[in-house]
Amino acid sequence: MSTRHSVKVRGGVAAVAAVVLAITVAGCGGGSDDKPKAAQDPSSTTTQGDAPKSQAPSGGSKPTPTVVLATANGEAGMTLTINRAARDAGGFLTVEGQLKNTGTAPYVNTAPWRGNELNSSGVSVAGVTLVDKAGKKRYYVLRDTDGRCLCTTGLAIIEPGQSVPFFAQFPAPPAATMEVEMSLPTFATATVKLSG
């Protein structure tokens, strides 16, 4: 009799498990297909007045920004164009632009751009600095908790005609500071107007 009783319990557990599995599978469904495609596409979710969210580079080239705040020439035909230098709400200053090889040969001398970096960021633009002449203060690129720079990394060879996004984040100078001098090793110093 005890054998038959255990078979009933096992059968009951199996039935309950099958019901729970069916409910779980139904609850994890992908949604109905009667929704408009625009509502299902997360890349199209912008509200009126919002700027589209920028996405991480996926190998494709981004359109070149049209606003040029400053340009600095480097060695072997390299140019640095700054398109944005804005204070962020968290007390940071974000500088963005493009590094472009306008020369005829691949540019391979990117190691000096990292400055005195101790290889935690690899080949990067961690050597870039800002100088607030009025406030008599120099600003260095910020680091994350692992010591990596908050800047463009992974730079190696820049082919002729190739543009590479430039990004560096610094502590924000005081609100009264309207311009800074930016220096990246192997480039001329550029005066950059700040916004925000």
Residue 131 phi, psi (nearest 5):
-125, 125
Determine the pLDDT at residue 190: 96
pLDDT for 66 equals: 76
Nearest to 153 by CA among 172, 134, 138, 169: 169
Please compute the mean of the pLDDT values over residues 127-144 and round it to a whole number. 94
Query: pLDDT-derived band of residue 117, with 50, 70 and 90 as boundaries?
Result: low
- In this prediction, residue 125 carries a pLDDT of 94
Please give the DSSP secondary-structure letter assigned to residue 28. Answer: T
Provide mean pLDDT across the span 143-170: 93
- Among 80, 46, 148, 47, smallest CA distance to 55 is for 46
Map out the domains of the chain with their CATH numbers: 70-193 (2.60.40)
Task: Between 28 and 157, name the one with better pLDDT.
Answer: 157
How many Cβ atoms are within 10 Å of 121's Cβ, its own excluded?
22
Q: Does the global pTM surpass 0.75?
A: no
Interval 90-119 mean pLDDT:
90
- Write out the DSSP string of 34-51: TS-HHHH-GGG---TTPP
At residue 116 the predicted structure's pLDDT band, cuts being 50, 70 and 90, is: confident
Strands 190-193 and 179-183: antiparallel
Altogether, the residues listed in the chain come to a count of 196
pLDDT band at 123 (very low <50, low <70, confident <90, very high): confident
| The pLDDT value given to residue 24 | 42
Residue 77 confidence (pLDDT) above 70 = yes
